[in-house]
Amino acid sequence: MTEKPFQTSSGDLLADRRADYAEMLFGSGDHAAAAELMLGALELAPGWAMGWFRLGEFHEAAGALDQAAEAWRMALKLEPADRPGAALKLALIGAAPAADAPPSAFVEALFDQYAEKFDDALVRALEYRVPDLLAEAIRSYGRERFGLAIDLGCGTGLMGERLRPVAEILEGHDISAEMLKKARGKGVYDRLVKSDLQTIQLAPTGADLVTAADVFMYIGALDGIVAKVASALRRGGLFAFSVERHAGPEDFVLLPSRRYAHSETYVREVLARYGMSALSLEMHIIRQDRREPVEGLIVVAECPLAIDGT
């Protein structure tokens, strides 16, 4: 999925017209001229946070990183919740410390925007394979039925469609109301909950399976969510998830796509820290991005049985 900021009007017709021309110039490759024209639009609508964000992107493309940083800081000042994701852009150019997680408002806005075309964009255009890969990995352990399965970041229900035949009760969580609406229309979940995975609360020791398909790319540091999953799983329960693969020495890194990639060593260490062991951890091509294959890790972990077998 190619990420573009959600579009919104400045509230000023002339400013919007200038911004449209700026977008045309940007699309033609004249990045500096696009930035100049967008700045003119912002003189008419100085409170337009998305306009400042786009100005930053125009400056970035023109190689003017100091001006890009100024524009993104203005966008943050105007909209501290940061739906456009300006803080991530600042981190990527070294103008701010890298955060352990993206702004929740950015993730929510991004997926609300893409809900309508999400399935088609991922499965057909980007050859998205994570739900099938996770389902196959889960099946390889011979578990035919799960009492309660929880699908974290369920989106439109692509993973839920694979889980429905093996789950007595299937619960889905997602931050995007629009994604949940699409999932509800498929009729595969028994319960759907609007949840931010950075603050989610899960009932203790109730789940037999927890999945997170292409979700942790939008979290970064995994300690918080892995701790909650470990508490939610019954003994012997499975945790199946994917991450984009990072081959460097860092635990995880923020990519230019504004997604996070995680190292195999870090994934194993976090699982062990919360009492889980990786049953399998395999590298796969999980999708295409700008016609380039994206490497990911498909992981199945287990919440071990206690010594007495309980």
For residues 37 and 35, give the distance between their C-alpha atoms in angstroms, rounded to a whole number. Answer: 5
CATH code: domain of residue 273: 3.40.50.150
* C-alpha torsion angle, residues 274, 135, 246, 1 (rounded to 10): -120
Domain boundary among 39, 62, 97: 97
Output Rg (C-alpha) for the chain, integer angstroms: 21
Is 2 within a domain? no
144 and 34 in a single domain? The answer is no
* pTM of the full structure: 0.90
Question: Are residues 53 and 134 both part of a single domain?
Answer: no
List Cβ<8 Å contacts ≥24 apart for 29-32: 31/58, 31/59, 31/61, 31/62, 32/58, 32/62, 32/64
Residues 134 and 262 in one domain: yes
If asked whether residues 286 and 142 sit together in one domain, one would say: yes
Instruction: Answer whether residue 111 is part of any domain.
Output: no
Same domain? 123 vs 222: yes
3-state SS class at 54: helix
CATH number at residue 65: 1.25.40.10
Burial of 142 (0-12, 13-18, 19+ CB in 10 A): exposed
The tokens 């020791």 sit on which residue?
A: 205
- Structural domain boundaries, residue 135: 118-302
Q: Is the pLDDT of residue 62 over 50?
A: yes
Q: Which of 63, 97, 131 finishes a domain? A: 97
Query: Cβ distance 300 to 137 under 8 Å?
Result: yes
Q: Is residue 6 part of a domain?
A: no
Kindly state whether residue 105 falls inside one of the protein's structural domains. Answer: no
Q: Which of 67, 97, 127 is the last residue of a domain?
A: 97
Domain assignment present for 187: yes
Q: Which pLDDT value is given to residue 85?
A: 95
Report how far residue 159's alpha carbon sits from residue 140's, in angstroms, rounded to the nearest whole number.
17
**Element (DSSP H or E) covering residue 280:** strand 277-289
Residue-level pLDDT at 71: 98
Helical H runs in 126-263? 130-139, 158-163, 177-186, 223-232
Could you give the CA distance from residue 170 to residue 191 in angstroms, rounded to a whole number?
7
**Is residue 266 in some structural domain?**
yes
Q: What is the pLDDT of residue 305?
A: 55
- Do 214 and 162 reside in the same domain of the chain? yes
Closest to 58 measured CA to CA, from 96, 94, 22, 89: 22
Q: Are residues 150 and 280 in the same domain?
A: yes
Residue 251 lies in a domain: yes
260 and 126 within one domain: yes
CA 161 to chain centre: 20
Residue 151 — φ and ψ, nearest 5°?
-105, 105
Residue 294 sits at φ, ψ, to 5 deg, of -105, 125
| Residues 99-143: tens digit of each pLDDT | 899 999 999 999 998 888 877 777 766 788 999 999 999 999 988
User: Given this model, what pLDDT does residue 4 score?
Assistant: 44
In total, how many domains does the chain have? 2
In this prediction, residue 213 carries a pLDDT of 96
Q: Which two tokens stand for residue 120?
A: 């088609």
- The answer on 73 and 123 residing in a single domain is no
For 26-57, what is each residue's pLDDT tens digit?
Answer: 999 999 999 999 999 999 999 999 999 999 99
Residues 145 and 284 in one domain: yes
87 and 126 inside one domain:
no
Q: Does residue 293 fall inside a structural domain?
A: yes
**Mean pLDDT, residues 267-295 taken together:** 93
* 234 and 278 together in one domain: yes
pLDDT, tens digit (0-9, with 9 covering 90-100), for 222-272: 999 999 999 999 999 999 999 999 999 999 999 999 999 999 999 999 999
